[in-house]
Amino acid sequence: MPCELNGKVAIVTGASSGIGRRFASVLYDAGATVVAVARRLERLEELAAATGDRMIAVQCDVSVESDREQMVYAVKERFGAVDVLVNNAGQTNVAPAEEESVETFRSILEVNLVAVFHLSQLAGRIMLEQGSGAIVNIGSMMGALASSPIKEAAYCASKGGVANLTRELSAQWASRGVRVNSIAPGWFATEMTHVLWEDESSDRWVKRNTPVGRAGKEGELDEVLLLLAGPGGSFIHGQTIVVDGGWSIH
């Protein structure tokens, strides 16, 4: 993998498992110093120990405003820059809309949308001062589609918000050197979706309704991440790249 991010400082939220853990490793292999952020510090420390001294474990609950502020401030104080922010942390709740509590809906939006805005704002201020930077928001194909028969009103609402927030931040910041884009994955096997793969009928449903006939594989988001985070994406602004095996073409 070419070291396109040598000397750059990248923050990856939700890096203790799944796609976030993978993203942290991909950016590290591309040469970046990576600040891996999540609530589960022991998992982050395990990742850092297995990776190398440019992988930095930082405990942070992105649902807490003060945690977000302290984390970004600490990164700036230690490294003097923030070059890449990957807003990957996310949550979902499966429940019929008529039964989902307002409290639960609000908590999902806090992690999936409010934290994305706030972290983008905090890192964006540093990037604007630098005159350069790349923000990659991790949305979902469900930001443009209904998830039914899986009932996820809060998740769909939050990911729709991420797509349009990406466009708006890009419109405001592109002329000042900051790129803001989004990746919208389809079905990938992660810790958050493990229940789906444990059920044979659900597994068949995904395969039947995905034109390529399968879920996404580990590594199939790597090059999109590097494109949007690295110099190869210098003329890509405000876009959401859908990586879903064709699910959304129906």
- Alpha carbon of 162 to those of 28, 40, 55, 131, 165: distances in Å? 25, 24, 27, 23, 5
Pairing of strands 55-59, 84-87: unpaired
Secondary element (H or E) of residue 242: strand 240-243
Q: Is 155 tagged catalytic?
A: yes
Task: Name residues whose C-beta falls within 8 Å of residue 179's C-beta, 6 or more positions apart in sequence.
Answer: 133, 134, 135, 170, 228, 233, 234, 236, 237
List the beta strands (DSSP E) in 124-231. 133-138, 178-185
The active-site residue out of 28, 105, 155, 173 is 155
Do 55 and 32 meet the contact criterion of CB atoms below 8 Å apart? no
How far the first Cα of the chain sits from its last, in Å, is 34
φ, ψ for residue 212, nearest 5 deg: -80, -5
Residues involved in catalysis: 155
